[in-house]
Amino acid sequence: MYIGVDLGSRTVKMAVWDGKRLVDYKIVESGFEPHRQAEKMIAGLKATTVVATGYGRHLASEYFADHVITEIKAHGLGVYHQFPGCTTIVDVGGQDSKVIALNARGKVSNFQMNDKCAAGTGRFLEIMAGSLAYSLDEFGQAALLADQEVQINSMCTVFAESEVISMKNRGAPRDHIARAVHSSVVDRLSGMLARLGYGEEIAFSGGVARNPCIVHMLQKKLPEARLVVPELPDIIGALGAALHGAEI
């Protein structure tokens, strides 16, 4: 049994790989001490190796993990396993977004991450949903169904939020603003993809891949590529970590 844990900023994910199949997985909130959450998740499981990835990976290795890999490598491994032949990954998590290029052997050949600010991340969507009084699920749905959008100019989370507030106060419909917020994230992601270059197939991993509006808009922006979303986009990193455990 090989366990991968992905200690992210918002959630901790665990995947259990038995050498052939994914036999179990879990997702919990990170809480204040993500490594304790992770420890609880794997308690009682018999593992040959535990590999940690994500922001809390080094802390995890102080406490329980046998090995550490970065989330870049972990997503590479996870996607290569699910979509062999796919050479481009977009991963949008809680606090960052990245695009990763893989070579034909599935190894990372290049990558880019968003800079310091939160624009284009799950956190950005969450803050914007909050200021429009949507739950996260409703937010993506509403944006998808909206028939129009207004224009958000600001990429910075703080400025975008004040822009959203002034739009609200000018009476712009909520779903139009929601759509605009999604649009700005998609612009950011497609910009990163254009910079790095992408293949025919692009895998979309991370929690934000469950947002139907982002997926739809991103696919529309990239007509020459096929966007594929794994069944469990949140756990691709954890799966990659578990697969790494089986490799070594």
Partner 1 sequence: MTFEIKPYPELWQSLDMDVERFDKARLMLGEAYEKTYLSQQNRPGAMAYFDNMIAEIHGGRIKELMAAKAEGRPVIGTFCVYIPEEIVLAAGGICVGLCGGSQGSVPDAEKTLPRNICPMVKSAFGFKAGRICPYFQAVDFVYGETTCDAKKKTWEILDKMVPTYVMEIPQCKNPRDIALWNEEVKAFKAKVEEVAGKTISESDLAWAIKTMNNKRRALQRLNSLRHHKPCPISGKDGLLIEQIAFYDEPIRFTEKVNELCDELEGRIKVGEAVPTKNATRVMIAGTPMALPNWKIHNLVEGAGAVIVNEESCIGTRYFKDLIDESVSTMNEMLAALTDRYKEIDCSCFTPNNERLNQVVKEFRDSQAHGVINYSLQFCHTYNIEEIRIREACEKEGIPYMFIESDYSPEDIGQLQTRIEAFLEQIRD
Contact positions vs partner 1 (CB under 8 A): 55, 69-73, 96, 107-111, 113, 115-116
| CA dihedral angle for residue 75, residue 19, residue 64, residue 43, rounded to 10 degrees | 110
Smallest separation, CB 113 to partner 1 (Å): 6
Tell me if 189 sits within 8 A of 97, measured CB to CB.
yes
Least CB distance from residue 184 to partner 1, whole Å?
A: 21
C-alpha to C-alpha distance for 95 and 120, rounded to whole angstroms: 9
Of 109 and 154, which has the nearer Cβ to partner 1?
109
Nearer to partner 1, 26 or 244 (CB): 244
The torsion region of residue 197 among left (phi > 0), alpha (psi -120 to 50) and beta comes to left
Q: CA–CA distance from 92 to each of 8, 80, 115, 129, 150 (Å)?
A: 11, 17, 13, 16, 24
CB nearer partner 1, residue 98 or residue 179: 98
**For partner 1, the closer CB: 109 or 131:** 109
Residue 78 is given by DSSP the state H
Cβ-contact 3, 87 below 8 angstroms: no
CB of 72 to partner 1, least distance (A): 4
Beta strands in 72-117 (DSSP E): 88-92, 97-102, 108-113
Q: Which is nearer to partner 1, 30 or 183 (CB)?
A: 30
Q: Quickly count helices (H) and strands (E) in the chain.
A: 9, 10
- CB of 58: closest distance to partner 1 in angstroms? 8
CB of 181 to partner 1, least distance (A): 23
